[in-house]
């Protein structure tokens, strides 16, 4: 066992290639968490539901991953493919509070050059975060990240944690400037660990943290009362937003986004991201609303105010 791995929680990651797993024996062997493949591109891993139930029944902290199959020949096609794969993954995996954050497993480029692959990755992550309220983890090897993502740190800065795959070394090499100085969260340190209850060998993982509980998805902040738009809705006047009230522990951080609405379609107003907004002549006759996003323990929820119509 690598010296640098001692003291961190042990885990495994599995897919249908491991066949039927004896989860009680895995738990008795001292493993505390498990990731399982839920989807591969647009294919369901047929062992996912069984692995999820078995791991959770035996009190292993559980998480789902999506093996990415990027595609698309135009920018629009690349983004549409990513959003579709993200939606398919969520329909199968159905991540829950108390589980590990979902994972995007990046090992294939689908023929995409680094800029297009970064766009695909961002769209997949954004879609999952929009629907689930948590930023997904990224799985990758240092070599793949350097070659295929040009060692980009943008995803670390945006809040994705790293599950790094670097086998049989004393300490993993962490891409993107040590993942923008935050380091790895999970480390797949071997592709061949022998574990009771599993035929052959299996991927072995480590969690870097004082307690596995800190890795579990917290409940999203709950709205008690919605936000309100206050002030006179006419050109030149400054509107203010009440944040509403939220139930979360610890108290959530808040972000604001003002939107202009045309019927049922609302679009963000560029740069309008504080609790105050000065009405412009372009808003005359339009409806305005504010969207408040509350975040606590890496879990987010968003609520919009009722729209107010600007006097013409």
Active site residue 13: yes
Q: What is the DSSP string of 178-246?
A: HHHHT--SEEEEEEEE--TTSSS-EEEEEE-SS-GGGGBPPPPPEEEE--EEES--STTPEEEEE--EE
Which residues on neighbouring strands pair with residue 37, listed in sequence order?
Answer: 65
Task: Estimate the share of the chain in helix, then strand, then coil, as percent rounded to the nearest 5.
Answer: 25, 30, 40
Catalytic-labelled residue, pool 107, 214, 237, 249: 107
Q: Is 68 helix (H, G, I), strand (E, B) or coil?
A: coil
Residue (of 235, 255, 254, 230) closest to 308 by Cα position: 230
CA-to-CA separations, 120 to 40, 68, 73, 113, 158, in angstroms, rounded:
15, 10, 11, 10, 15
Distances (CA, A) of 183 to 42, 163, 175, 209, 233: 31, 10, 9, 11, 47
Three-state SS letters, 16-35: HHHCCCCHHHHHHCCCCEEE
- What are the backbone angles phi and psi of residue 176, rounded to the nearest 5°? 55, 50
204: nearest Cα among 189, 218, 225, 184: 189
Question: Catalytic annotation on 76?
Answer: no
Dihedral sign computed on CA atoms, order 49, 53, 54, 55: positive
Q: Which residue from 137, 155, 140 is spatially nearest to 65, judged by alpha carbons? A: 137
Which three-class secondary structure state does DSSP give residue 3?
helix
Q: Which one of the listed residues 13, 81, 99, 205 is annotated catalytic?
A: 13
Closest CA to 180 of 144, 221, 138, 209: 138
Report the catalytic residues: 13, 107
């Amino acid at each position: 066992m690598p010296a640098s791995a001692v003291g961190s929680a042990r885990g495994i990651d599995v897919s249908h290639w491991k066949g039927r797993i004896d989860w009680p024996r895995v738990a008795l062997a001292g493993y505390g968490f498990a990731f399982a493949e839920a989807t591969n591109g647009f294919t369901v891993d047929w062992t996912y539901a069984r692995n999820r139930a078995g791991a959770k029944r035996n009190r292993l902290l559980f998480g789902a991953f999506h093996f990415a199959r990027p595609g698309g020949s135009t920018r629009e096609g690349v983004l549409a493919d990513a959003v579709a794969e993200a939606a398919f993954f969520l329909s199968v995996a159905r991540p829950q509070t108390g589980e590990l954050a979902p994972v995007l497993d990046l090992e294939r480029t689908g023929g995409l050059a680094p800029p297009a692959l970064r766009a695909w990755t961002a769209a997949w992550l954004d879609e999952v975060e929009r629907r689930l309220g948590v930023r997904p983890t990224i799985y990758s090897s240092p070599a793949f990240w350097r070659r295929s993502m040009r060692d980009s740190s943008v995803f670390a800065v945006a809040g994705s944690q790293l599950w790094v795959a670097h086998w049989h070394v004393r300490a993993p090499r962490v891409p993107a400037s040590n993942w923008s100085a935050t380091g790895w969260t999970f480390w797949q340190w071997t592709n061949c660990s022998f574990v009771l209850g599993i035929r052959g060998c299996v991927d072995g993982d480590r969690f870097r943290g004082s307690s596995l509980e800190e890795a579990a998805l917290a409940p999203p902040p709950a709205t008690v009362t919605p936000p309100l738009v206050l002030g006179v809705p006419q050109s030149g006047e400054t509107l203010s937003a009440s944040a509403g009230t939220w139930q979360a522990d610890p108290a959530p951080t808040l972000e604001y986004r003002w939107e202009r609405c045309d019927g049922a379609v609302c679009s963000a107003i560029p740069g309008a991201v504080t609790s105050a907004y000065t009405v412009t002549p372009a808003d005359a006759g339009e409806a305005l609303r504010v969207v408040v996003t509350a975040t606590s323990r890496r879990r987010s929820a968003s609520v919009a105010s009722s729209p107010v119509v600007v006097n013409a």
